[in-house]
A and B are shown apart, each in its own frame.
Chain A
Amino acid sequence: MLSYILDRLKSSIVVLFVVSVITFFVLMIIPGNPAQLILGTDATPEAIQELHAAMGLDRPLYQQYLSWLLDLFTLDMGSSYVYGESVTALIARSIPVTFSISIFAMVMAVFIAFLFGIISAIKKNSIADYFSRSIMQLGAAIPSFWIGMVFIVYFGIKLRILPVSGFVPIEQSFAGFIKSILLPSVVLAIGEVGTLLRIIRSSMLDSLKQDYMDMARVKGLSTGKTYIKYALRGALTAPLTIIGMQFAKLAGGTVVVETIFALPGLGRMVLTAVEHRDIVLLQGLVMFITSTVIIITLIVDISVMYLNPRIKSFQQGEL
C-alpha cells in the first residue's frame, strides 16, 4: 500500500524532472536574443549586451537550468517581459479563471457521460444507445472554437441572455460569475464528454457480464439495485482513471476556449507568451500547468487504488 504510493510518487518526480528539462531546453533553442526582444530594435549593442549578462544568459546552459530549477522551488519564475510583472503573480491571478471553467466543465461532462453511458450500456442497441454513441463521435469531432462561435452568436447576440466575453470574479457577483463561465464550460465539456462516455459505456458493459451480476439477481435484488450497487461499482475504476487524464487534456483545451471568450486565464496567457516569444513566461506557465496535471493524475491514481483493492494486491504481488 505505502510502497505503491511511494512508487507512484517517485515516478511522478522523475516525470516532473524530465518535463522541466524538456521545457527549459526546448525553449532555450529559440532563435533570437531575448535581450534584443525586450529592448527592441533600436537598442544599442552595448545595452543589449548588458541586459544579456544581467539576465544571466551568458552563463553555460546547464548553469542557467540549475538556477532556473532552484528558483522554481522558491516559486520565483522570473518576470515576463510582455506584462512586465512576475510570472508567479500573473499565474496566481489567472488561476481562478481557468480552474473555474475546468472544474465546471468536468462536473458537467462527468454527469452527462455517466447518465448516457449507463443508459446506453443497460439498453444496448436501443435508440438511446445510438443517440449517446452519436454524441460520443460528434463530441470528439466538432472543434471547440466552432461551437464557441456558434454559442456566442446564439446565446450572446441573438438571445442576449449570456455575456460573450470577459470574466466576473465570484466575490464580485455570484450570478455574474456563473453567467460568465457557463458558455466556456459547456464548450469545454462537449469536447470531454465523448471520451468519458465511451469508457463508462464499455466498462459498464463489462461489469454487466460478470458473475456477480447473476449472483445479485439470484439473491432477488431489484434490477435497479443490481445496476447501482453492483454493476456501477464494478465499472468505476477505468472512468475514474480517465477523468484524471481528461482533466489534463482540459488544461490544453482552455487555450482555445479562453481565446474565443476573451477570458483572462492561463490558456490565454500561454497564447500571448507564444505569440510574443516571452520565454520566461512560457517556461513558467508550462511548468505550472504540467505539474498541476501530474499532481492531479497522482491523486486520482491513489484514490482509484483505495476504491479498487485488486490493484493494491496486484502491486504487492498477491495475484
Chain B
Amino acid sequence: MRKNISLILGIILVLIIIAVWVLSFVYMPYPPNEMNIPDKFLKPSIDSEHILGTDNFGRDILSRIMYGSRNVLLVGIGSVTLGTLLGIFLGAVAAMKRFANTIIMRIMDGLMAFPGILLAMMLVAVLERGIQGSIIAISIFMVPVFSRLVYSMILDTEALLYIKAAKSYGSSRKQIFLRHYIPAMLPRLITQFTSAIGSAVMIETSLSFLGLGIQPPYASWGLMLSESRQFFLSYPYLAVAPGIAIIITVLGFNLIGDGLNDILINRGNSNE
C-alpha cells in the first residue's frame, strides 16, 4: 500500500496551500502591502502580532505569504490549464489531420529544444512583466509536452478495435475525439497536469526571483525571496517562510502527480 503514501502526503500539502489561499480572501492579519517602518525587521514569534515577523518595510510576512499564494496558484494553475488546452488541441489536430502533422510537430520539437526557463525568459522579454505575462510565457512552455502526449496517445489508440468500430458506424471525428479519445487519454492527462503545476510554480517563482515575473509592491514568494537577499545576512528568517511555502507547493503537486501515476497508469505493477 505504500504507493498511496505519496498521493496522501501530496494531497495534504496541496490542501494546506489551498486553505491558505482561500483564507487570504476571507482574512489576512494585515494588508499585505501596508508599510510600517517603525516595525521593520520584527523577528518571527508566536506571541507577537506578526507571527512570521516583518520585512524591511515593516510589512507583515504572514499576510504577504497568504497574498502571494493567490499569485502563485493563479499563475501555476492558469498557465498549465491554458497550456493543456492548447496542447490537446494542437496534438489532436496533428494526429487527425495529416497535412498539419509535420508543421505542428516540428514546431513542438523546436519549442522543446529550448532548455528550461530560457523559453519563458525569452517570451517575458516580449510580453509585459506581471501575472499575465507569466501565465502566457509558462503556458507556451507547457504546450509541447501536452501536444506530444496527446499526439502519441491518439496514434496508439487509433489502431484499437473500438475506435475502428466507431469509425465504421459513421461517428464524426469530433464525436470520436470527445467520446473515445478524451476518456482514453484522461488518466495520463490528469497525471501530467498535476505534475506540470509543480513545474509551473517553480518557473513562476524563478521568474519572480529574477525580477521578470510579478512586480513589486505585489507579493509573490519568489519576489519576497529576491527582496530578502540584501538583508538576508542579518535577518535570515526573511527567507524561511517563502522558501517553505514554495517547497510545500511544488512537493505537494509533484507527489500527487507521482501517486496518480502509480494508480492510474502503472496500476500496481510499478516499481514502487
Q: Is the CB of A19 within 8 A of B271?
A: no
Report which A residues bind B (CB closer than 8 A). 11, 14-16, 18-19, 21-23, 26-27, 29-31, 125, 137-138, 140-146, 149-150, 152-153, 157, 201-202, 205-206, 248-253, 255-256, 259-260, 270-271, 273-275, 277, 279, 282, 286, 289-290, 293-294
B225, B232, B254: the one contacting A141 at CB < 8 Å is B254
Given contacts A22-B111, A29-B126, contact A145 B209 (CB under 8 A): yes
Residue from A146, A150, A248 whose CB has the most chain B CB atoms within 10 Å: A146
Q: Is the CB of A153 within 8 A of B106?
A: no
Instruction: Provide the residues of chain B in CB contact with A14, threshold 8 Å.
Output: 106, 109
The distance from the CB of A211 to the nearest CB of chain B, in whole angstroms, is: 17
Q: Is the CB of B125 within 8 A of A277?
A: yes
Instruction: Provide the residues of chain B in CB contact with A270, threshold 8 Å.
Output: 118, 121
The distance from the CB of A219 to the nearest CB of chain B, in whole angstroms, is: 26
- Contact indicator per residue, chain B 232-260, by CB within 8 Å of chain A (1) or not (0): 11001001000100110011001100100
Instruction: Provide the residues of chain B in CB contact with A149, threshold 8 Å.
Output: 225, 228-229, 232, 239
A18, A205, A251, A282: the one contacting B110 at CB < 8 Å is A18
Instruction: Provide the residues of chain A in CB contact with B62, threshold 8 Å.
Output: none
Instruction: Provide the residues of chain B in CB contact with A256, threshold 8 Å.
Output: 117, 206, 209-210
Would you call the interface of chain A mostly helix, strand, loop, or mixed?
Answer: helix
Q: How many residues of B contact A (CB 8 A)?
A: 45
Q: Tell me if B170 counts as interface (CB < 8 A to partner A).
A: no
CB-defined A-B contacts under 8 Å, sample of 10: A11-B109, A14-B109, A15-B109, A26-B123, A141-B251, A143-B202, A145-B209, A274-B122, A282-B122, A289-B115
Q: Is the CB of B122 within 8 A of A143?
A: no
Bound Cα distance A106, B195 (Å): 24
Bound Cα distance A33, B136 (Å): 23
Q: Is the CB of B271 within 8 A of A142?
A: no
Q: Is the CB of A146 within 8 A of B198?
A: no
Report which B residues bind A (CB closer than 8 A). 2, 6, 106-107, 109-111, 113-118, 121-126, 198, 202, 205-206, 209-212, 222, 225-226, 228-229, 232-233, 236, 239, 243, 246-247, 250-251, 254-255, 258, 271
The distance from the CB of A91 to the nearest CB of chain B, in whole angstroms, is: 14
Instruction: Provide the residues of chain B in CB contact with A19, threshold 8 Å.
Output: 110, 113-114
The distance from the CB of A37 to the nearest CB of chain B, in whole angstroms, is: 12
Bound Cα distance A21, B103 (Å): 13
Instruction: Provide the residues of chain B in CB contact with A125, threshold 8 Å.
Output: 2
The distance from the CB of A310 to the nearest CB of chain B, in whole angstroms, is: 20
The distance from the CB of B179 to the nearest CB of chain A, in whole angstroms, is: 34
Would you call the interface of chain B mostly helix, strand, loop, or mixed?
Answer: helix
Bound Cα distance A206, B239 (Å): 41
Instruction: Provide the residues of chain A in CB contact with B118, threshold 8 Å.
Output: 251-252, 255, 270, 286, 289-290
Assuming A29-B126, A141-B254, what are 5 further A-B pairs, CB within 8 angstroms?
A15-B109, A27-B122, A145-B225, A251-B116, A290-B114
A138, A259, A274, A290: the one contacting B113 at CB < 8 Å is A290
Given contacts A138-B251, A143-B243, A146-B225, contact A253 B117 (CB under 8 A): yes
Q: Is the CB of A274 within 8 A of B247?
A: no
Q: How many A-B residue pairs have CB under 8 A?
A: 143
Instruction: Provide the residues of chain A in CB contact with B271, threshold 8 Å.
Output: 201-202, 205-206
Instruction: Provide the residues of chain B in CB contact with A18, threshold 8 Å.
Output: 106-107, 109-110, 113
Q: Is the CB of B239 within 8 A of A282?
A: no
Residue in A closest to B253 when the chains form the complex, CB atoms: A141
Bound Cα distance A253, B118 (Å): 9
Instruction: Provide the residues of chain A in CB contact with B2, threshold 8 Å.
Output: 125
Q: Is the CB of B255 within 8 A of A271?
A: no
Bound Cα distance A141, B195 (Å): 11
Residue from A22, A142, A149 whose CB has the most chain B CB atoms within 10 Å: A149
Residue in A closest to B247 when the chains form the complex, CB atoms: A141
Bound Cα distance A274, B122 (Å): 7
Q: Is the CB of B239 within 8 A of A146?
A: yes
Residue in A closest to B118 when the chains form the complex, CB atoms: A252
Q: Is the CB of A143 within 8 A of B229?
A: no
Given contacts A29-B126, A205-B271, A290-B118, contact A274 B209 (CB under 8 A): no
Q: Is the CB of A274 within 8 A of B116?
A: no
Bound Cα distance A146, B221 (Å): 11
Bound Cα distance A253, B205 (Å): 13
Bound Cα distance A252, B236 (Å): 27
Given contacts A27-B126, A255-B210, A256-B209, contact A294 B243 (CB under 8 A): no
Instruction: Provide the residues of chain B in CB contact with A259, threshold 8 Å.
Output: 210
B115, B211, B225, B251: the one contacting A251 at CB < 8 Å is B115
Residue in A closest to B239 when the chains form the complex, CB atoms: A149
The distance from the CB of A190 to the nearest CB of chain B, in whole angstroms, is: 12
Q: Is the CB of A30 within 8 A of B110?
A: no
Q: Is the CB of B122 within 8 A of A141?
A: no
Q: Is the CB of A23 within 8 A of B198?
A: no
Bound Cα distance A273, B191 (Å): 36
Instruction: Provide the residues of chain B in CB contact with A29, threshold 8 Å.
Output: 126
Bound Cα distance A293, B114 (Å): 8
For the complex of A and B, 5 pairs with smallest distance between CB atoms: A252-B116, A18-B110, A141-B251, A251-B115, A141-B250
